[in-house]
Amino acid sequence: MFDGLGEALPIFFSLDMFLALSVALALGMVTSIIPGIGSLTTMALLLSFTYTMDTYVAMAFLVTLLGVGSFAGSITAILINVPGETQNAATLLDGYPLSQQGRAGEAIGASATASALGASFGILVLVASMPLLRQVILSVGPPEMFALSLSGVVLIGVVSRGNPARGIASGLFGIMLAFVGLSQALGGHRYTFGIIDVYDGLPLIPIVIGLFAVPEIYELLRQNRTISSSGTLVKGGIARGVTAVLRRPAAVVRGSTIGTWIGLVPGIGGAVAPWVSYFVAKARSRDPDSFGKGNIEGVIAPETANDSKDGGALMPLLAFGIPGSLSMAILLGAFQIHGIVPGQRLFDQNMSLVWVILMALLFANFTSSLVGIAFAGVLVKVTLVPAVILSPVVLSVAMIGAFADSRRPSALAITLGMGLLAVLMVRADFPRPPLLVGFVLLPILERNFHQSLQIYRGSYTFLLRPITLGILLVTFAMMFAPALLNAWRRSRRPALATVGTAPAPADPTPATTATGRGATVTAAPALTSVLTKVLVTALILACALTMAITSRDLDPTARLFPLVVLTATIVLTGVMLVRDVQHLASARQAGLPLLGERGTFSDRWVTGWLLVLPALVFTLGMLVGSALFVALVRVFYDRAPLSTGVVVQGLVLASATGVCLFLLFERFLRITLIDGALL
């Protein structure tokens, strides 16, 4: 098992290696923290730079970029509610509420420590179980992957707080969106309506940015406040976050074990492991109701699993050459270019390379965590930046990030469209994470389902395979575990029972709860709130009906999965709509006020300003348009009387934004941005 370690150590601790890994660390941290960029783009970009490197250094360089991204993505999830990578989505459930409470430092400290310890423990688990890896990987086929991805979809519905029906409807809507594009069954296109930009499905990054970044920017602008509701930071937060993890060794071990083993399943690990870990942590907690409101364990659990899964995910690649993700595919490309053939011979003949890769992963997680902790004091100040400065900068960068992924202008429309829908979802208490997870997992779920059917020649007996059946039974049990646990707790603590049943806001990031400078807040329910619920439910129902009608033209195999999901959606949202309409009628009779919470600025005002950005981009180009947008928002948004100071501030901000965007995207990432019609 330790063959090659002696050879690997001097290679890893060489000067060349140190320099290369330092560069990878710095570049990885900078690019991974930008929404929409992440480690994937950086790896793809820098792949060609590794050709001339020594094989060991090249592989360690790329693995470091990969490892850094896992932690860095949590920083944006915590600070601005945008997961840097999809696998960081579970972190925002509790990370962002902590930021809103002025405890961003604590969340980052906990995330960094959990990442470092999780990755270390994960690698230890992996090394200890290396003799079994081949058998483990071979025992997980399409039926098991189908069951595992199904458990992910179910889990997210269970984990979401608030009204379960809305959580499920949100997840189903995410699955519906994932149906658009290439059919996993036949390869043909479906629900594309002839739009070539969505032939391969709706792009993930614009969906993520629209779903999470835009509503936060919207609310920050509407209420003209800072992310930290109180406008202050809790002192000593970073150290408190670090010690919070160190005091919970069992949580670290649990999360890492979950992450490592689920990470072994190609393609699924990243999307499922953090959620399983979060669910287990919540189920075992003595205070499960505090999850989603800023419980530090809600940060530790997903982050330990998230960072420990990278080691597991490397194994299918090293042992069989199976890339479970695009990042792994790039790594596989680098292998090929350096003449390395993954497989048993790699373990037999070149074990030192495997060790160097594992050490690089460990280095990436540890050092990125240290850097994160070192800079956390500065980073958390983002939560104190006024909306008129922070929002336009974040929106501009996020929009370019969304565009950079697919290089299609339609990405901007998808981002804004999804963003405005997400604003409504927040107000209607529809949780957003289920939508994302449904969207990410559906292709895996559907592909493995059809593969299983093909392998079993159309028979459903694949569901009876031992591991598959086991996972399905556990999933089924998990669906009902929270209700059973609650019932059990109530029976044990009758006096507290009513507390547990109090309705909670469904979204973990209730952007409407904070008060800020000038905000006029009335928390009482209002007609518009009920009306928004009706609107969102009707929208999902309308989408489902449209897709169901369109399904008639599809091949029976290609429409099998959609029809199951669409039928469930139509039934569920139909019932919800009837109840919401009844609720609306009774609310009118009860004389509820038309408007509930009001921000400093109207929705019309904020929406108008959000539309200014794409208008500027298509008119003046992405660079100039974004820079000008930053200046305009700073100077004119808050309708304050013009002053020289504000104008100068706007110009400085615009210049800095323009220069940074130009250097990063045009020069470094070599991304050709949109040209304007006028420039």
What is the binding site for another protein (CB under 8 A)? 40, 43-44, 47-48, 51, 137-138, 141-142, 181-182, 187-189, 196-197, 199-201, 266, 320-323, 326, 328-333, 336-339, 341-345, 407, 450-451, 454-455, 457, 602, 604-605, 608-609, 611-612, 615-616, 618-619, 632, 636, 639-641, 670, 672, 676-678
Distance CA 260, CA 331 (A): 19
User: In the bound complex, what is the minimum distance in angstroms from residue 612's beta carbon to another protein?
Assistant: 5
Q: 605 or 668: whose CB is closer to another protein?
A: 605
Nearest to 328 by CA among 344, 316, 337, 339: 316
Q: 182 or 581: whose CB is closer to another protein?
A: 182
Angle at 645 between CA 641 and CA 650, to 5 degrees: 90
HEC sequence for 561-608: HHHHHHHHHHHHHHHHHHHHHHHHHHHHHCCCCCCCCECCCCHHHHHH
Distance CA 629, CA 493 (A): 55
Q: 636 or 662: whose CB is closer to another protein?
A: 636
Nearest to 160 by CA among 149, 178, 148, 172: 172
User: In the bound complex, what is the minimum distance in angstroms from residue 128's beta carbon to another protein?
Assistant: 23
User: In the bound complex, what is the minimum distance in angstroms from residue 618's beta carbon to another protein?
Assistant: 6
Collapsed DSSP state (helix, strand, coil) of residue 190: strand
User: In the bound complex, what is the minimum distance in angstroms from residue 620's beta carbon to another protein?
Assistant: 8
User: In the bound complex, what is the minimum distance in angstroms from residue 162's beta carbon to another protein?
Assistant: 32
User: In the bound complex, what is the minimum distance in angstroms from residue 336's beta carbon to another protein?
Assistant: 5
User: In the bound complex, what is the minimum distance in angstroms from residue 138's beta carbon to another protein?
Assistant: 6
User: In the bound complex, what is the minimum distance in angstroms from residue 635's beta carbon to another protein?
Assistant: 12
Contact in structure between 25 and 65 (CB atoms under 8 Å): no
- Return the amino acid letter for 104: A
**Bridge partners, residue 189, by sequence:** 182
User: In the bound complex, what is the minimum distance in angstroms from residue 188's beta carbon to another protein?
Assistant: 7
Burial of 249 (0-12, 13-18, 19+ CB in 10 A): exposed
Nearest to 383 by CA among 609, 216, 519, 209: 216
**Bridge partners, residue 598, by sequence:** 520
User: In the bound complex, what is the minimum distance in angstroms from residue 539's beta carbon to another protein?
Assistant: 23
Contact in structure between 509 and 429 (CB atoms under 8 Å): no
Distance CA 5, CA 11 (A): 10
Angle at 658 between CA 655 and CA 662, to 5 degrees: 140
User: In the bound complex, what is the minimum distance in angstroms from residue 349's beta carbon to another protein?
Assistant: 11
Q: 165 or 612: whose CB is closer to another protein?
A: 612
Q: 55 or 170: whose CB is closer to another protein?
A: 55
Distance CA 187, CA 455 (A): 17
User: In the bound complex, what is the minimum distance in angstroms from residue 662's beta carbon to another protein?
Assistant: 15
Angle at 189 between CA 183 and CA 195, to 5 degrees: 135
User: In the bound complex, what is the minimum distance in angstroms from residue 192's beta carbon to another protein?
Assistant: 9
Q: 14 or 619: whose CB is closer to another protein?
A: 619
Q: 201 or 237: whose CB is closer to another protein?
A: 201
Contact in structure between 281 and 251 (CB atoms under 8 Å): yes
User: In the bound complex, what is the minimum distance in angstroms from residue 458's beta carbon to another protein?
Assistant: 9
Q: 135 or 491: whose CB is closer to another protein?
A: 135
Distance CA 115, CA 109 (A): 10
DSSP string computed for 524-572: S--HHHHHHHHHHHHHHHHHHHHHHHHGGGS-HHHHHHHHHHHHHHHHH
Burial of 505 (0-12, 13-18, 19+ CB in 10 A): middle
Q: 520 or 567: whose CB is closer to another protein?
A: 520
User: In the bound complex, what is the minimum distance in angstroms from residue 440's beta carbon to another protein?
Assistant: 16
User: In the bound complex, what is the minimum distance in angstroms from residue 39's beta carbon to another protein?
Assistant: 12
Distance CA 528, CA 552 (A): 36
Tokens read off for 288: 């499960």
Query: Which residues, 6+ apart, have CB-to-CB distance to 175 below 8 Å?
Result: 153, 438, 439, 442, 565
Q: 105 or 324: whose CB is closer to another protein?
A: 324
Residue that the structure tokens 């602008």 belong to: 221
**Bridge partners, residue 182, by sequence:** 189
Q: 73 or 142: whose CB is closer to another protein?
A: 142
Q: 582 or 602: whose CB is closer to another protein?
A: 602
Q: 343 or 593: whose CB is closer to another protein?
A: 343
Query: What are the start-end ranges of the H helices in 199-325?
Result: 204-208, 214-223, 237-246, 249-263, 269-284, 297-320
Q: 32 or 573: whose CB is closer to another protein?
A: 32
Contact in structure between 383 and 226 (CB atoms under 8 Å): yes
HEC sequence for 129-166: CHHHHHHHHHHCCHHHHHHHHHHHHHHHHHHCCCCHHH
Distance CA 293, CA 93 (A): 8
Contact in structure between 508 and 92 (CB atoms under 8 Å): yes
User: In the bound complex, what is the minimum distance in angstroms from residue 360's beta carbon to another protein?
Assistant: 18
Q: 375 or 456: whose CB is closer to another protein?
A: 456
Q: 232 or 459: whose CB is closer to another protein?
A: 459
Nearest to 13 by CA among 56, 50, 77, 65: 56
Q: 276 or 319: whose CB is closer to another protein?
A: 319
